[in-house]
């Protein structure tokens, strides 16, 4: 892949994270598109579609996170009457609340309502839906870091499964018009606990859509460039400290999207389509992480193998060499938006799924990993956690500076 060197590492990083410099610089936009192999400019929703948001009460869970905060920023432009920010982290909530108020300084209309709370807490949910007439929910709250969730499987289940089930059910009971779940490509044939819990959340929302007037939709993401815990800020820190830059495996590759693309996809799905549907962005070809590391080192003005070495540390538990956007039982279809694909699949039987999830949540509270895995496999038969842990051992290696140098 031949991408022109960028003027600085920080400039390169700003391009990848989708910050304001991307919008201000066509040159940087072109280089980002060269890296990803596609146009990354998000298409705005139409005036007709924006009516689903204008003058409405819109709620975002995980509002202080990378995706949730960008969704909030973009929602302001569509004129909701109320923007309700639900977030567990006081610091993250403070930052996004302050930023949104600055963004709309001098403008009238949208009331920003910051709420500290855990979506699993029944009292929190009751207060939200009793005090606010919520029309649209964007459920961005989740634990997403694969290796961390391998170490904390019970919390992955309680937050990603129980949290989604209870908040989605409360939204349905409150008569919310639309509920959009944020998911991940790691939910496809999962080998990680994080991916498996997100797959269960997908199934529950899909099943719930058949039993209610609330329109439930799901959006699957690839990796979001520059999001919290993603590889790009990690590489940036490693380069600035003199290396080494750690890559799990020379062949590992991932689908990437910018934060702006991710937020736009969430909003597009929330206003365009019918209940029970699942969507994914056309993300083009996957990006090889080794190539990304080399581009970032070169962009910093450093020489690979001399100034900065690349160290291959092996796939970690729960990680794959490559990710998939759909499983063999799912079919991709076109939508009116050329950049968004619809995923067609069969909805589960909700009563049986509810019972299985209830058992999983009870087991998760015990913290027994083997029992958690067994319960998950009853819901997601393709879940293969042993495969993930085997990968982590099989490919572990460390290469010397000389072996990672390029001429």
* Residues carrying an active site annotation: 186
How many of the other CB atoms lie within 10 Å of CB of 270?
A: 26
Residue at token pair 């855990």: 118
Residue with token string 């956690």: 385
Residue pointed to by tokens 């869970």: 61
Query: Hey, what are 33's tokens?
Result: 């598109």
Pairing of strands 111-116, 136-139: unpaired
Instruction: Find all residues with CB under 8 Å of 144, minimum gap 6, and list them.
Output: 184, 194, 229
Annotate the chain with three-state secondary structure: CCCCCCCCHHHHHHHHHCCHHHHHCHHHHHHHHHHHCCCCCCCCCCHHHHCCCCCCEEEEECCCCHHHHHHHHHHHHHCCCEEEEEECCHHHHHHHHHHHHHHCCCCCCCEEEEEECCCCCHHHHHHHHHHCCCCEEEECCCCCCHHHHHHCHHHHHHHHHHHHHHHHHHHHHCCCCEEEEEEEHHHCCCCCHHHHHHHHHHHHHHHHHCCCCCEEEEEEECEECCCCCCHHHHHHHHHHCCCCEEECCCCCEECEECHHHHHHHHHHHHHHCCCCCEEEECCCCCEEHHHHHHHHHHHCCCCECCCECEEECCCCCCCCCCCCCCCCCCEEEECCCCCEEEEECCCCCHHHHHHHHHHHHHHHHHCCHHHHHHHHHHHCCCCCHHHHHHHHHHCCCCCCCCCCCCC
Closest CA to 150 of 209, 191, 91: 191
Both structure tokens of 198: 């997100």
């Amino acid at each position: 892949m031949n991408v022109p060197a960028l003027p600085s590492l920080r400039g390169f990083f700003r391009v990848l994270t989708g910050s304001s410099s991307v919008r201000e610089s066509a040159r940087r936009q072109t280089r980002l598109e060269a890296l990803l192999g596609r146009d990354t400019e998000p298409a705005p929703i139409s005036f007709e579609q924006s009516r689903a948001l204008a003058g409405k009460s819109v709620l975002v869970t995980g509002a202080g996170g990378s995706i949730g905060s960008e969704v909030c920023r973009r929602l302001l432009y569509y004129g909701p009457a109320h923007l309700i920010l639900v977030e567990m982290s006081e610091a993250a909530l403070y930052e996004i609340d302050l930023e949104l108020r600055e963004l709309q300084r001098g403008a009238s209309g949208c009331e920003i309502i910051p709420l500290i709370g855990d979506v699993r807490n029944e009292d929190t949910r009751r207060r939200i839906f009793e005090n606010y007439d919520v029309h649209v929910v964007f459920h961005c709250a989740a634990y997403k870091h694969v290796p961390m969730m391998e170490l904390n499987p019970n919390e992955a289940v309680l937050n990603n499964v129980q949290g989604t089930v209870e908040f989605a059910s409360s939204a349905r009971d409150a008569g919310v018009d639309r509920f959009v779940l944020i998911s991940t490509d790691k939910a496809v044939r999962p080998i990680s606990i994080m991916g498996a819990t997100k797959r269960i959340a997908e199934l529950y929302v899909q099943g719930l859509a058949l039993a209610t007037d609330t329109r439930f939709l799901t959006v699957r993401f690839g990796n979001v460039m520059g999001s919290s815990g993603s590889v790009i800020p990690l590489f940036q820190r490693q380069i600035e400290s003199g290396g080494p830059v750690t890559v799990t495996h020379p062949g590992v590759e991932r689908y990437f999207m910018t934060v702006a693309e991710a937020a736009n996809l969430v909003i597009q799905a929330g206003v365009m389509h019918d209940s029970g549907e699942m969507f994914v962005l056309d993300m083009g070809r996957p990006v090889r992480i080794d190539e990304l590391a080399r581009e970032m080192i070169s962009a910093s003005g450093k020489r690979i193998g001399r100034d900065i070495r690349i160290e291959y540390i092996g796939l970690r538990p729960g990680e794959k060499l490559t990710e998939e956007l759909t499983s063999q039982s799912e079919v991709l279809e076109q939508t009116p938006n050329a950049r968004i694909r619809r995923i067609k699949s069969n909805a589960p039987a909700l009563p049986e799924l509810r019972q299985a999830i209830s058992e999983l949540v009870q087991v998760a509270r015990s913290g027994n990993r083997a029992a958690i895995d067994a319960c998950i496999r009853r819901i997601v038969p393709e879940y293969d956690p042993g495969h993930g842990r085997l990968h982590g051992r099989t490919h572990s290696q460390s290469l010397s500076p000389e072996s990672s140098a390029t001429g």
